[in-house]
Amino acid sequence: MSRYLGDDWVLPALTPRNTPYFTAGSIQIQFCRECGHAQHPPDDVCYACQGAKLEFRAMPGTGRVESAVVVHHAVHPALATRVPYVVAIVSVDGAPGCSVQGNVVGCAPEAVAIGQKLRAVFEEATDPATGTRLRIPQWERVPGA
């Protein structure tokens, strides 16, 4: 699969906090082992209780569109051939109160609506600087949902 925003588009900069999200090939959400709070983006402390016992858990890879925007104007010249595209806020099934941001792929931009069920799909890329294999989450509509 060619990368959705193009093979020359910037790859995520990996950190100890975000590596599971961008490399696992599943939706990885950080949970607090002390209070059970789910959070994204990941951090060194729990947003709810300030606990430091945090772990990543694989989620089912489905969610719901909470908000979406159709991008019509390229924010960078490298994206000029990619507009229009949809960026959505997706509430993650299995992680109450936790949402992630991502592109909605595989449909016309006008077909994306608040409340639709989505499932994660992953585009693969290799970071040329480190050789790390990335599996970047994108989202597609769930047929019939």
| Predicted confidence (pLDDT) per residue in 21-73, tens digit | 999 999 999 999 999 999 999 999 999 999 999 999 999 999 999 999 999 99
Residue 104: which residues within 8 A CB-CB, separation 6 or more? Answer: 65, 68, 86, 87, 88, 112, 118, 138, 139, 140, 141
How far from each other are the two terminal CA atoms of the chain, in whole angstroms?
A: 25
**Domain-located, residue 97:** yes
Tell me the residue range of the domain where 118 lies: 19-25+60-141
Contact 84, 71 (CB under 8 A): yes
**Domain-located, residue 43:** no
**Domain-located, residue 47:** no
**Percent of the chain beyond pLDDT 70?**
98
Contact 28, 55 (CB under 8 A): no
**Domain-located, residue 14:** no
Please give the tally of structural domains in the chain.
1
**Domain-located, residue 90:** yes
For 133, phi and psi rounded to 5 degrees? Answer: -85, 120
Q: What is the mean pLDDT of residues 5-10?
A: 77
**Domain-located, residue 89:** yes
